[in-house]
Amino acid sequence: MKFKNFPMVPRVIFGRGCFSQLQEILMPRRKNSEAPFIFLVDDVFESNQELISKIPLLFGDKIIFIPTDEEPKTEQVDVLVSKIREYTTQSPSGIVGIGGGTVMDLAKAVAIMLTSNGKAEEYQGWDLVTREAIYHVGIPTISGTGAEVSRTTVLTGPEKKLGINSDFTPFDQVVLDPELTNGVPRDQWFYTGMDCYIHCVESLNGTYLNAFSQSYGEKAEDLCDEVFYNGKLSKEETQDKLMMASWHGGMSIAYSQVGVAHAMSYGLSYLLGTKHGLGNCIVFNHLEEFYPEGVAKFKKMQERHEIELPKGLCANLSEEEFETMINVSMGMDPLWENAVGKNWKDTITRVKLRNLYEKM
Amino acid sequence: MKFKNFPMVPRVIFGRGCFSQLQEILMPRRKNSEAPFIFLVDDVFESNQELISKIPLLFGDKIIFIPTDEEPKTEQVDVLVSKIREYTTQSPSGIVGIGGGTVMDLAKAVAIMLTSNGKAEEYQGWDLVTREAIYHVGIPTISGTGAEVSRTTVLTGPEKKLGINSDFTPFDQVVLDPELTNGVPRDQWFYTGMDCYIHCVESLNGTYLNAFSQSYGEKAEDLCDEVFYNGKLSKEETQDKLMMASWHGGMSIAYSQVGVAHAMSYGLSYLLGTKHGLGNCIVFNHLEEFYPEGVAKFKKMQERHEIELPKGLCANLSEEEFETMINVSMGMDPLWENAVGKNWKDTITRVKLRNLYEKM
């Protein structure tokens, strides 16, 4: 197809406190009492009784806590799928992800792999999934990744960091409850929010852009400005607006792509395990050449929120390690093409990337 | 449910010329060669060979041309449903609406009534539909109504002008091809675009608003500004951006409502058959009291585009006719409540509405 026929999340609920409606939402989706819901929950909530008690467990439903100090891995998906298959003889009624980008991506990938054969790594790429996923629900507890609305699930595999991009990836239901973002640590709030801001800068300055993606990207950027730049909002408004910024930012990728920051931060994450939001910030901070206005504003937002980015990540890397990062980054063809154009290889050289990485 | 679990259009394609991908889009939805697609097409295109030749007719597919000089009626839905049932023994593969708001609303209503018993008028209201509609596709050829994305289909019945509001109403697929809006007459372009602008003003100034609806409404309003107020866009940009304004404007109603202009223009349409876009403009022009900034800008946009609104619509109405209009308008509880608050009946009196109508 010349233009992509974009799958949207078919059901969304938004509201402060709407998480408490989860039981009503899931009930009609229960296949029978032998087909449980599996809740994948960020382990940061393991001792949060208030949140855990609101998860509407029935019959054989199960909570699996997910460690999120590392980026999600294809192997982790395979282990989760095996565990769920051992736990229940029937296919589950659904998978519910409650957490940040890592949990969102794992929930989407697990829902896909419960109906697809083989290993998750075999599906990293574009449109390799051929079977419908099981019903899956995304409930973000931090705002910015856009994973709640996107048609990808970014995974680190043995050979590459790359998404499972497919029409079966998007959630069937998203629950947007800004109250769930209470208690996010300040630095993580900033890094993840900046993931959205950086999406927008990359999408709006990309060569793939059309009016559909532009309208979403502009709105997400406006909302990021309100939250991080103008700084005159109440706590509630900040939470509400950042959750919507993430949503629109994710939508803006529909007919667009991310760009240089994502391409290079994939290299960092692959080699060093740097978390996605932080990695984007570290890279973007050095991209004046590509996004002069966006980077200038980003630096001001760092100041305003007194955020100190880690330095010297690449100080002690070996030649081989630099080569690995550069390989991963240069493998992200569509991102570079969106950022620089079809002839991106004329200007984006290994030496150029090496010089940039050395600054980080 | 305290917060509504909003159904979104699950598939959307956007692009200049994407209408030519319709065959690819419909093919996987064909149930078999005996289950035709029924195309409801605005009769303005009856002699437009370029458009008609692109409709991918196969097997027993049928085009039905729809006169659109009047607002859609419940009776018209019933007649179309009978006609389709006579035409095909099998349930159709789907209904495809190609046209403006009237055709969008008829396509949605026909898709619902092909699986629901009784008459369309029995379903005017909120959540009265209990059976899934047949697959239905919306392809707007004029921008502004938001009907391509909304969960309502506004119909004039024997007793009231009111939508079939249900989770089964939204399209399963929308095709957004801005090139289809080539050739829309200038006054209609303005009136229908203003439908979107007025939605936004009403939604953003309403008491129902939350951050979800606000973000869509603000973006739609920004795009209307670009198109109608700033006026520095190319023809293509104007078409692209107005199509997105309509989309976001429709989404902004999700957790909101329209307001005074819609409540009163429903009265005009019911009695006089005034088309929805034009009716909204005629009413909104006199609503400084409710929307001072919005109306001021609206008047400037009229000037800029040299639009002369019809006057004296209510000049020769009888007492009884005024009463009918006021009854229809005052029946729109949720609209008034959104506009003025729970105690709207304290200030919105019959005399007040009579005085306003007399100016139109």
Which residue is closest to A220 within chain B, CA to CA? B215
- Which helix or strand (DSSP H or E) is residue B64 part of? strand B62-66
The pLDDT, as a whole number, for residue B231 is 75
Query: Structural domains in chain B?
Result: 11-181 (3.40.50.1970), 186-358 (1.20.1090.10)
Q: What share of chain B is helix, strand, coil (3-state, %, to 5)?
A: 50, 10, 40
* Coil, helix or strand at residue A158: coil
> From CA A225, how far away is CA A78, in angstroms rounded?
39
The pLDDT, as a whole number, for residue A297 is 97
In DSSP terms, which residues pair with A94 in a beta bridge? Answer: A37
Buried b (16+ CB within 10 A) or exposed e, A206-216: bebbbbbbbbb
Residue A126: phi and psi, rounded to 5, are: -115, 120
* Coil, helix or strand at residue A353: helix
Residue of B13, B54, B176 to mutate, interface with A, max A Cβ within 10 Å: B13
> From CA B248, how far away is CA B230, in angstroms rounded?
19
The angle at the Cα of B136, spanning B50 to B265, to the nearest 5 degrees, equals 85
Query: Residue B39, Cβ neighbours under 10 Å: how many?
Result: 25
Which residues on B lie below 8 Å from A204 (Cβ)? none
> From CA B21, how far away is CA B1, in angstroms rounded?
39
Within chain A, residue ranges assigned H as helices are: 22-26, 49-53, 74-87, 101-113, 186-204, 211-224, 235-252, 260-272, 276-284, 292-304, 319-330, 333-340, 350-359
Which residue is closest to A210 within chain B, CA to CA? B15
Is pLDDT at B42 greater than 80 in this prediction?
A: yes
- Which helix or strand (DSSP H or E) is residue B323 part of? helix B319-330
Looking at chain B, the whole-number percentage of residues with pLDDT higher than 70 is 100
Structure tokens at A193: 């929010």
Structure tokens at A178: 């800004």
Closest C-alpha to A280, from A297, A260, A256, A253: A260
Structure tokens at B2: 């305290």
Handedness of CA B290, B294, B299, B302 (dihedral sign): negative
Strands A154-156 and A161-165: antiparallel
- Inter-residue contact A134 to A94 (CB < 8 Å): yes
When CB atoms are compared, the residue of B24, B218, B241 closest to A211 is B241
State how far Cα B103 lies from the chain centre: 9
ipTM above 0.90, yes or no: yes
> From CA A105, how far away is CA A72, in angstroms rounded?
7
Over residues B81-85, the mean pLDDT reads 97
What's the gap in Å between the CA of B171 and the closest CA on chain A? 11
Tell whether B132 is within 8 A of chain A (Cβ). no
Tell whether B85 is within 8 A of chain A (Cβ). no
Tell whether B5 is within 8 A of chain A (Cβ). yes
Spatial CB neighbours of B187, under 8 Å, sequence gap ≥ 6: B307
> From CA B16, how far away is CA A212, in angstroms rounded?
11
Handedness of CA B272, B275, B280, B281 (dihedral sign): negative
Q: Residue holding tokens 């532009």? A: A214
Closest C-alpha to A71, from A6, A7, A155, A128: A155
Which residues on A lie below 8 Å from B14 (Cβ)? 3, 6, 210-212, 255
Is pLDDT at B254 greater than 90 in this prediction?
A: no
* Coil, helix or strand at residue B174: strand
Residue of A3, A149, A171, A174 to mutate, interface with B, max B Cβ within 10 Å: A3
The model's pTM: 0.96
Per-residue model confidence as pLDDT tens for chain A (360 residues): 689 999 999 999 999 999 999 999 999 999 999 999 999 999 999 999 999 999 999 999 999 999 998 889 999 999 999 999 999 999 999 999 999 999 999 999 999 999 999 999 999 999 999 999 999 999 999 999 999 999 999 998 988 888 999 999 999 999 999 999 999 999 999 999 999 999 999 999 999 999 999 999 999 999 999 999 987 899 999 999 999 999 999 999 888 899 999 999 999 998 998 999 999 999 999 999 999 999 999 999 999 999 999 999 999 999 999 999 999 999 999 999 999 999 999 999 999 999 999 999
Interface A-B: count of C-beta contacts within 8 A: 115
What are the tens digits of pLDDT across the range A39-59?
A: 999 999 999 999 999 999 999
> From CA A19, how far away is CA B119, in angstroms rounded?
38
What are the tens digits of pLDDT across the range A283-312?
A: 999 999 999 999 999 999 999 999 999 999
> From CA B162, how far away is CA B146, in angstroms rounded?
16
What are the tens digits of pLDDT across the range B158-186?
A: 888 889 999 999 999 999 999 999 999 99
What are the tens digits of pLDDT across the range B309-356?
A: 999 999 999 999 999 999 999 999 999 999 999 999 999 999 999 999
Q: In what order do the strands lie in the sheet with A154-156?
A: A125-126, A161-165, A154-156
When CB atoms are compared, the residue of A3, A176, A215 closest to B21 is A3
